[in-house]
Structure 1
Amino acid sequence: MRVLFAVSPGIGHLFPTIPLAWALRAAGHEVLVATATEGVEAAVRAGLPAVDTAPAAAISAIFGAATGPPEERARRMSERGQRIAEAGHEVHELLLRTFGQVSAVTAAATAAVARRWRPDLVVHSRLQGAGLAVASALGVPAVEHGFNLQSEADLAGRFLPHLAEACERAGAPQALPSRRAVVHVAPPEMMLGPPVPALSMRYVPYNAGGELPEWLWEPPERPRVLITMGTVVPRLQGVGGLARMLAAAPEVEADFVLALGGDADLAPLGPLPPNVRPVGWVPLHHLLTGCVAVVHHGGSGSTMAALGAGVPQLVLPHGADQFVNAGAVADLGIGAWCPPGEVDAGTVATLLADATVRATAEAAAARMAELPAPADLVAPLTALAAAR
């Protein structure tokens, strides 16, 4: 079986699909990734063949240049994120329009590759409509791969009106594939929204490779708290959103690990408190081991990795779907959230002392571990591709 992974640009969309791609390869199936920008190199680093489906400039033009001072960019991102959260479990129309444009830009190249390679199945990230268009054009099944806790019964149907240009460029009718499936990466009872038919799969965090520092193997002398803002927030807004969090760190009886990757400019933060240790790129799921809490921006990857690790979360949302994830963390009882400008030592200390939140987070992780592994989905996906 040949499986084409059609993925929206960006590692936040690509990384959640890597474990399933690996599982299919390990079972003897062929896999090809069709994505753009940083996702191409990231797929290659994961050991997967990849094709570039759009110029970086074309993708950047859709999302807009990061112009203006960091404070202004932060304000715009926060306002946009709060608008997105208004839709609750559903994907906001704003995102459907935006990713409809992304789908159009990537559709022609994705379709050209698919026609040459002839996949039996197309797995697409939730908002990559080029995957839906290509599956429709080739008459093969499409599998929507989730990456967070959002769920809605008719996402593809709501997305379709925004895919007219993508379908035209792919040479496909503006219609959904006749055979479709959805993969969720959390148990049905944790998903936002009413239950929908889906294949539930364990969330297996993939954060690329990285050298693990020696201190990570040593038992911590005090409670260890991880701080991370992912890759997008530091690049678009800088690290100013962490100023209050780091100012409060000396007042908390804990040691903090500041993980912002190797490219983030920490200079605006000034001298770091003595109980804050900055690190370069270290796989997130390894950093979570041994931590009693994690402070993060609400990115789906960070939220899901912490959920799977059973670590209580404090979410400081900045934009995009981060407010949705922040609300889910609070509703599930596995953590709390507050605006970045309102966090203080008391916020963190309260989370560290909350035994109920810790027990709930550990129980949620145990439930996540009960789900089928990516390898367990190979059989049903093979059957879906074989059904005619």
Structure 2
Amino acid sequence: MRVLFAVSPGIGHLFPTIPLAWALRAAGHEVLVATAAEGVEAAVHAGLPAVETAPASAIAAIFGAATGPPDERARRMSERGRRIAEAGHAVHDLLLRTFGEVSAVTAGVTAEVARRWRPDLVVHSRLQGAGLAVASALGVPAVEHGFNFQSEPDLAARFLPHLAAAYERVGAPLALPPRRVVVHVAPPEMMLGPAGGEAWSMRYVPYNAGGDLPRWLWEPPERPRVLITMGTVVPRLQGVGGLSRMLAAAPDVDAEFVLALGGDADLAPLGPLPPNVRPVGWVPLHHLLTGSAAVVHHGGSGTTMAALAAGVPQLVLPHGADQFVNGGQVAALGLGLWCPPAEVDAATVTKLLADETIARSARSAATRMAGLPAPADLVTPLTTLTHP
């Protein structure tokens, strides 16, 4: 079986799909990734063949988020995030329009590759409509790969009007593929939104690329260890200023903090770091979560789901995108707390560390997650999709 992974640009969309791609390869199936921008290099580093579907400049032009001073970028991103959160479990039309443009830009090359390679199945990230268009054009099943808590059975139907340009570029009528399945990566009872359609649950297996693991990571901490991370997008688009208040509060918390912002983040705006804050470069997130008593993060889907899988209490400081949705669901499920970055203080972090109810809920959620089918368990059901 040949499986085409059509993934939206960005590692936040790519990383959740890697374990399933690996599972298919390990079972003897062929996999090809079609993506753009930073996703291409990330797929290659994951050991997968990849095709670039659009120049990075074309993707940057659509989002246009990297223009203006950091404060202005932060304001725009936060405003968009709050608007997105207003839609609740549903994907906001703003995102459908934006990713409809991304789908159109990437659809042509995706279709050209697909027609030559002839996949039996298309797995697409949730907002990559080029995958839907190509599956429709080839008459093969499409699998929507989720990455957060949101469940929306009619998402593809709502997305379709925004994909007219993508379908036109692949030469297909504006219609959904003949067979569609949605894969959710959280337990059904934790999903935000109604059940419906053909949906499968799969365990979220964190993939955060490789990295050198420092020796101190294996040593038991003398005090509770709190991980601080803002993912990859927030530091690049907004800088690190959103962490100023959190780091100012750190000396008043009886804990050691690990500041993991990757190797490219400019920490200079933060000034001298408190003595109980240890900055690190790129270290795989799931290894940093192991042994952590809590994690403070931006609410990105990958970080949120990795913390859920690790059973670590969370403090979410949302900056934009779907981060307000994730933060709200973390709090609603009793897995942690959330507050605006400008309102976090030592008392908030101390409360999280001392709350045994949250700790128990986080551990229970991790146990529930571990009981879901692994990516390898979905290989056979995916294979059956290709047989009428």
Would the TM-score normalized by the shorter structure come out above 0.5?
A: yes
Match of 2:86 in 1: 86
Question: What is the Cα deviation at residue 195 of structure 1?
Answer: 1.8
Output the CA distance in 2 between the equivalents of 1:66 and 1:114.
32
Q: 1:267 aligns to what? A: 268
Report the counterpart of residue 116 of structure 1 in structure 2. Answer: 116
Residue of structure 2 in register with 1:142 after alignment: 142
State the shift of 1:153 in Å: 1.0
Aligned counterpart, 2:236: 235
**CA offset at residue 331 of structure 1?**
0.6
2:75 aligned residue: 75
Cα distance, 1:178 vs structure 2: 1.1
Structure 1: how far apart are the matches of 2:67 and 2:32? 35
Equivalent residues in 2 for 1:339-354 (5 A)? 339-354=340-355
SS at match of 1:278: strand
Query: In the alignment, which residue of structure 2 is the partner of 1:64?
Result: 64
In the alignment, what sits opposite 1:304?
A: 305
2:9 equivalent to 1:19: no
Match of 1:45 in 2: 45
1:206-245 alignment, distance < 5 Å: 206-245=207-246
- What is aligned with 2:361? 360
Once structures 1 and 2 are overlaid, which stretch shifts more, 68-77 or 136-145? 68-77
CA drift of 1:211 comes to 0.5
Distance (Å, rounded) in 2 between the aligned partners of 1:239 and 1:57 = 24
Question: Does structure 1 retain, via aligned residues, the 8 Å contact 2:65–2:237?
Answer: no
Q: CA deviation at 1:65?
A: 4.5
SS of structure 2 residue aligned to 1:225: strand
Deviations 1:177-231 (A, max 9, x none): 0111010001110000112241100000000000000000001110000000000
| Counterpart Cα distance in 1 of 2:180 and 2:194 | 19
Report if the CA contact (8 A) 2:65-2:73 is conserved: no
> Percent of aligned pairs with the same residue?
85
Separation in structure 2 between the aligned mates of residue 123 and residue 235 of structure 1, nearest angstrom: 28
Structure 2 counterpart of 1:229, which letter?
M
Which residue of structure 2 aligns with residue 251 of structure 1? 252
Whole-Å Cα distance in 2 between the matches of residues 176 and 213 of structure 1? 48
CA distance in 2: counterparts of 1:135 and 1:75, whole angstroms: 38
AA aligned to 1:45 is H
Which runs of structure 1 show a deviation greater than 3 angstroms over 4 or more consecutive aligned residues? none
Please tell me the residue identity of whatever aligns with 2:244: A
After superposition, what is the alpha-carbon deviation per residue over 1:159-185, rounded to whole angstroms, capped at 9, x for unaligned?
A: 000000000001111100011101000
Mapped partners of 2:270, 2:355: distance in 1: 29
Please list, as runs of the form range in 1=range in 2, the aligned pairs for 1:280-359 lying within 5 A after superposition. 280-359=281-360
Deviation at 1:76, TM superposition (A): 0.9
1:29 aligns with 2:39: no
Count residues in correspondence. Answer: 387
What whole-Å deviation, never above 9, does each CA across 1:226-260 have from its counterpart, x for those lacking one? 00000000000000000000000000000000000
Distance 1:256 1:352 in 2: 12
SS at match of 1:34: strand
**Equivalent residue for 1:127?**
127
AA in 2 matched with 1:142:
A
Alpha-carbon shift at residue 139 of structure 1 (Å): 0.3
- Deviation for aligned residue 1:355: 0.4
Output one character per residue of 1:8-40: Cα deviation in whole Å (capped at 9) or x when no partner: 000000000000000000000000000000000
> Which amino acid in the other structure matches residue 363 of structure 2?
E
Shift of 1:62: 0.4
User: How far has the Cα of 1:321 moved from its partner?
Assistant: 0.5
* Structure 2 SS opposite 1:294: strand
**Once the two structures are superposed, what CA deviation does each residue of 1:64-84 show, in whole Å capped at 9, x if it has no partner?**
141222111111111110000
- What per-residue deviation string (whole Å, max 9, x for no partner) do you get for residues 69-124 of structure 1? 21111111111100000000010000000000000000000000000000000000
Flag structure 2 segments of 5+ consecutive residues without an equivalent: none
Could you report, residue by residue, the CA deviation over 1:107-162 in whole angstroms, capped at 9, with x for unpaired residues? 00000000000000000000000000000000000000000000011000000000
What is the CA–CA distance in structure 1 between the aligned matches of 2:315 and 2:375, rounded to whole Å? 28
Conservation of the 8 A alpha-carbon contact between 2:298 and 2:319:
yes
- Find the aligned partners of 1:315 and 1:35 in 2 and give their Cα distance: 29
Taking a change above 3 Å as real, the CA distance of residues 157 and 18 of structure 1, as seen in their structure-2 partners, is same
Provide the C-alpha distance between the structure 1 equivalents of 2:334 and 2:224, rounded to a whole number of angstroms: 21
1:123 aligned counterpart, secondary structure: strand
Give the RMSD, CA atoms, in angstroms.
0.6
TM-score, normalised on structure 1?
A: 0.99
1:385 corresponds to:
386
**Secondary structure of 1:286 counterpart:** helix
Find the residue that maps to 1:329 and give its secondary structure.
helix
One-letter amino acid of the counterpart of residue 224, structure 1 = R
Distance between the aligned counterparts of 1:204 and 1:278, measured in 2?
A: 26
- Letter of the 2:26 partner, please give it: A
Name the CA distance, whole Å, in 2 between partners of 1:211 and 1:385.
40
One-letter identity of the residue aligned with 1:43: A
